[in-house]
Chain A
Amino acid sequence: MSNTQDTNHVEHTEVPGVKESGSFPPFDSSTYPSQLLWLVLSFAVFYWVMSKVVLPRIGGILEDRRDRIAGDMAEASRLKQETDEAIEAYESALSDARKKAGSMANEARAKVKAETESARAAAEEQLSAKLSDAEQSISRIKAESLSHVGEIAAETTGELVKALIGGRAPAKAEVAKAVDAALK
Chain B
Amino acid sequence: MAGNSGNAIDPIHQFHISKIFPVEIGGVDFSFTNASLFMVVTVAVATLFLVLSTNRRGLVPSRAQLMAEMSYEFVAATLRGSAGNDGMRFFPLVFSLFMFVFVANMLGMFPYFFTVTSQIIVTFALAMLVIGTVTVYGFFKHGAGFLKLFVPSGVPAGVVPLVSAIEVISFLSRPVSLSVRLFANMLAGHITLKVFAGFVVMLTGLGAAGVASAILPLALTVAITALEFLVAFLQAYVFTVLTCMYLADALHPSH
Contact = CB atoms under 8 A, between A and B. Distances in A.
Nearest to B57: A61
B229 interface: no
A50 B59 contact: no
Interface in B2-20: 2-3, 6-7, 10, 12, 15-18
B122 A39 contact: yes
A33 B28 contact: yes
25 contacts: A12-B3, A16-B7, A17-B16, A17-B17, A24-B15, A26-B120, A26-B121, A33-B28, A34-B35, A35-B33, A35-B125, A38-B33, A38-B35, A43-B39, A43-B100, A46-B100, A50-B95, A51-B96, A54-B54, A55-B95, A58-B54, A58-B69, A58-B72, A61-B69, A64-B59
Interface of B: 2-3, 6-7, 10, 12, 15-18, 23, 28-33, 35-36, 39-40, 42-43, 46-47, 50-51, 54, 57-59, 61, 65, 68-69, 72-73, 91-93, 95-96, 99-100, 116, 118-122, 125-126, 129, 183, 187
Interface string A57-76: 11111101100100000000
A18 interface: yes
A65 B68 CA distance: 15
Contacts of A16: 7, 16, 18
Contact of B93 (A9, A47, A58): A47
B30 A57 contact: no
A128 interface: no
A61 B10 CA distance: 48
A54 to B, nearest CB: 4
B15 A25 contact: yes
Contact of A34 (B29, B43, B93, B100): B29
B119 A42 contact: no
